[in-house]
Amino acid sequence: MKKYYLQLMLIILALVFGGCSTKTPTSIAGKISLPVTFKSVWYRPTLDKSGYFVMTDTGTLSVEDNFIKFEGEKEVIIIPFSEIISVSFKKLGSDFINKWVVIKYGKQTPPKYAVMSDGRYMGWAGGSSKIFSTIKYATKK
């Protein structure tokens, strides 16, 4: 009986950590047709957020022809491509497992941040790299 529990635990660990994105994507296979919509996206407006819940809102992210739109349960954010300073993909704060898409934007000083991650399966679905690749492709930044 212990043998089956060990096998089950190994399968669960393989599924959980097999879906984690550890590398920054460098290219996209094929052409993307905009708009692209991502559901169950985590969002926060800051780089640093301590605590267990690393997001401040959850919603839908749309990458359109000229802007990015996040429609959350608490707020709606629209970022025109012309205001995007940089787009990066990295680990942040207390979330030491998942990488986040970091959009630095705004014409004011200091600039604003929109930090997003795929929220499916507690962030382990691997969709954050797709969000990053799509935004990079659309904005060419």
Sequence ranges of the domains in the chain: 2-139
Model pTM score: 0.75
Can you give the pLDDT of all 141 residues of the chain as single tens digits? 555 555 555 455 444 444 444 344 444 456 778 899 999 999 999 887 665 567 889 999 999 999 999 999 999 999 999 999 999 999 887 777 788 999 999 988 899 999 999 988 766 667 899 999 999 999 985
Contact indicator for 81, 139 with CB cutoff of 8 Å: yes
CATH number for the domain running over 2-139: 2.30.29.30
At 28, phi and psi to the nearest 5? -120, 135
H or E element at residue 61? strand 57-63
